[in-house]
Amino acid sequence: MTRFVVDAPVAVRLATGGLAIPPGHALFAPALLRSQALALVYGSVRRGDIDERAARTILDGIRSLRIRLLGDRVLQSVAWEVARTLGWPDTYRAEYIALTRLQADALVTFDDELSEAASTMVATAPLTQVLQAP
């Protein structure tokens, strides 16, 4: 079983693209993914990129992805250390790196800054790797 941590933009892409996760892969994310995905989709509605009906379909799609959401003390502690090490002003993105370190094989993100920082601490992978059968 290959375990991937995905961030909110990746979850939105998976949901909007109707992309299937092959058996043998598992998705993980910090619990904050729910709020971040909601904010991304809401922002798309506010900008006029999509209507509310499409937004609700995307959110339902994210919920159906079977992403295991975690947010325990150990994750928070490791995220704190990651953020401090990287000199980041908050721990939001650090939670993705921390979760990858603790539970997963690789982090999948479209955020270039996060990917670059993460690559010094954990493995990263492109979305195409998530979509390939193991």
Q: Could you tell me the residue ranges of all domains in the chain? A: 2-124
| Average pLDDT over every residue of 97-119 | 98
Kindly state the percentage of the chain with pLDDT values over 90: 96
CATH 3.40.50.1010 fits 2-124, yes or no: yes
The per-residue pLDDT for 134 is: 84
SS3 call for 82: helix
The predicted model scores a pTM of 0.95
Q: Express the helix, strand and coil content of the chain in percent, nearest 5 each.
A: 55, 15, 30
Question: Regarding predicted confidence, which is higher, 117 or 17?
Answer: 117
pLDDT tens digits for 20-71?
899 999 999 999 999 999 999 999 999 999 999 999 999 999 999 999 999 9
Listed in sequence order, the residues at least 6 apart from 86 whose beta carbon sits closer than 8 Å to its beta carbon are: 94, 117
